[in-house]
Amino acid sequence: MTRRSVSILGATGSVGTSTLDLIERHPDRFEVVALTAARNVASLADAARRTNARLAVIDDEALLPELRERLAGSDCRAATGKEAMSEAAAGGADWVMAAIVGCAGLEPVMAAIRAGRTVALANKESLVTAGALMTEAAARSGAEILPVDSEHNAIFQCLAGNRSSDVAKLVLTASGGPFRTKSRDEMAAMTPEQAVAHPNWSMGAKISVDSATMMNKGLELIEAHHLFGLPSERIDILVHPQSVIHSMVEFVDGSVLAQLGSPDMRIPIAHTLAWPERMDTPAQRLDLAAIASLTFEAPDFERFPALKTARSALETGGSAPIALNAANEEAVSAFLQRRIGFLDIVGIVLETIAQTVAGRPRSIADVIDIDREARARATNLMREMAA
């Protein structure tokens, strides 16, 4: 069997290291071409050495000399800059994991899509901001986009072998996050430490805060729309605190298919790594007798206004989801630095969208412009709040 060649964008993060874990357990099946990271030069160099990667790219150019030094004597080339990022995304590997966090991942993802790669997509922010452009580019180049986000991966698995015209609706499940049972007053006092302490999943800081506000489910709603081509009104959100059912598809005949598994990202990552085959993972097997009961609740739109905000941004389309994502990235980062309170996050997002001129991006350059302007507006709003 020929080995599948892989590259990982965002190799040092939560999804990136889970991907490396799987690849390193199966050296017979995979060979690593390129790895990238923002700043964690030690972990990047270490992974590149362990996997015999040919290219390691660090986003922070000040760290290039250190990366070179750490890779000295190996066959791995150290690089930085936009071109090197594109090379990591588009050059050489058949399969590319897009696991950069935020809109920063958009250009590398587009490079991989334009080159016709199989793209395992964790970076939901790229689909939220440029979904239509990405899916059009994939249709042109023949690139396959395989969803890594557990909900979308579950839906992808449930859809296999069915006609999309037979789908009645999608049901995105949500754990409800660490503040599922908290009042608005209690949420107002929550710290970054409390917000990142997710009850079921271990993830990067940004997505953990998104889970606490439930903006994560809002971003996933937009992500599902672009991946599966269904309108907002045919994508439901259902709170399911145990995170065992990862999402469901209801068909026109009333049948509902669900995908289940323990909450371990290595399961959906492995699904995309081996696709269209399957591979073994060390993830804990599901013991339903021990779990005993699975429960469900309707989402509370009053305590979690991010859900309505995201749904309305999806329905408005154009610049609205870009502004939503940009303001959210800025506000989450400010919250993590203790510059704003927990409830301010969604307030900043709403106000930024309200100040955004309606428009339709025609290119990735347009998306990046709208993103930049929305970030500036969100930053101004936070400055005014602090004054």
Positions touching Mg ion (CB under 5 A) are 149-151
Least distance to ligand NAD, CB of residue 96, Å: 14
**Residue 14 found at the interface with ligand NAD (CB under 6 A):** yes
Q: Are 292 and 279 in contact (CB under 8 A)?
A: no
Task: Give the range of 170-178, 203-211, 295-303, 369-377 binding ligand NAD by CB under 6 A.
Answer: 203-211
**Residue 355 found at the interface with ligand NAD (CB under 6 A):** no
**Residue 123 found at the interface with ligand NAD (CB under 6 A):** yes
Indicate the residue among 223 and 344 with the shorter CB distance to ligand NAD: 223
Query: Which does residue 40 bind out of Mg ion, ligand NAD, none, counting CB within 5 to 8 angstroms by kind?
Result: ligand NAD
**Residue 106 found at the interface with ligand NAD (CB under 6 A):** no
Indicate the residue among 120 and 370 with the shorter CB distance to ligand NAD: 120
Indicate the residue among 16 and 92 with the shorter CB distance to Mg ion: 16
Q: Which of 88, 130, 265, 314 is the binder for ligand NAD (CB under 6 A)? A: 265
Q: Which of 29, 66, 201, 308 is the binder for ligand NAD (CB under 6 A)? A: 201
Torsion angle in degrees (nearest 10) through CA of 55, 57, 62, 66: -40
336-343 long-range contacts (CB < 8 A, ≥24 apart) are: 336/192, 336/205, 336/206, 336/209, 338/191, 338/192, 339/382, 339/386, 340/382, 340/385, 341/188, 342/187, 342/188, 342/189, 342/190, 342/195, 342/212, 342/213, 343/184, 343/187, 343/188
**Residue 336 found at the interface with ligand NAD (CB under 6 A):** no
Least distance to Mg ion, CB of residue 259, Å: 13
**Residue 329 found at the interface with ligand NAD (CB under 6 A):** no
Q: Which of 16, 177, 241, 361 is the binder for ligand NAD (CB under 6 A)? A: 16
Least distance to ligand NAD, CB of residue 220, Å: 9
Binders of ligand NAD among 85-104, rule CB under 6 A?
99-101, 104
**Residue 321 found at the interface with ligand NAD (CB under 6 A):** no
Instruction: Spell out the residues 6+ positions from residue 378 whose beta carbon is closer than 8 angstroms to its own.
Output: 326, 327, 330, 331, 348, 349, 352
Task: Give the range of 36-44, 284-292, 309-317, 325-333 binding ligand NAD by CB under 6 A.
Answer: 36-44
**Residue 155 found at the interface with ligand NAD (CB under 6 A):** no
Q: Are 173 and 243 in contact (CB under 8 A)?
A: yes
Q: Which of 4, 6, 13, 299 is the binder for ligand NAD (CB under 6 A)? A: 13
Q: Which of 4, 6, 15, 145 is the binder for ligand NAD (CB under 6 A)? A: 15
**Residue 195 found at the interface with ligand NAD (CB under 6 A):** no
Indicate the residue among 37 and 249 with the shorter CB distance to ligand NAD: 37
Query: Which does residue 74 bind out of Mg ion, ligand NAD, none, counting CB within 5 to 8 angstroms by kind?
Result: none
Q: Which of 87, 125, 250, 264 is the binder for ligand NAD (CB under 6 A)? A: 125
**Residue 10 found at the interface with ligand NAD (CB under 6 A):** yes
**Residue 177 found at the interface with ligand NAD (CB under 6 A):** no
Give contact residues for ligand NAD (rule: CB under 6 A). Answer: 10-16, 37-38, 40, 59, 99-101, 104, 122-125, 149, 201, 203-204, 206-207, 265
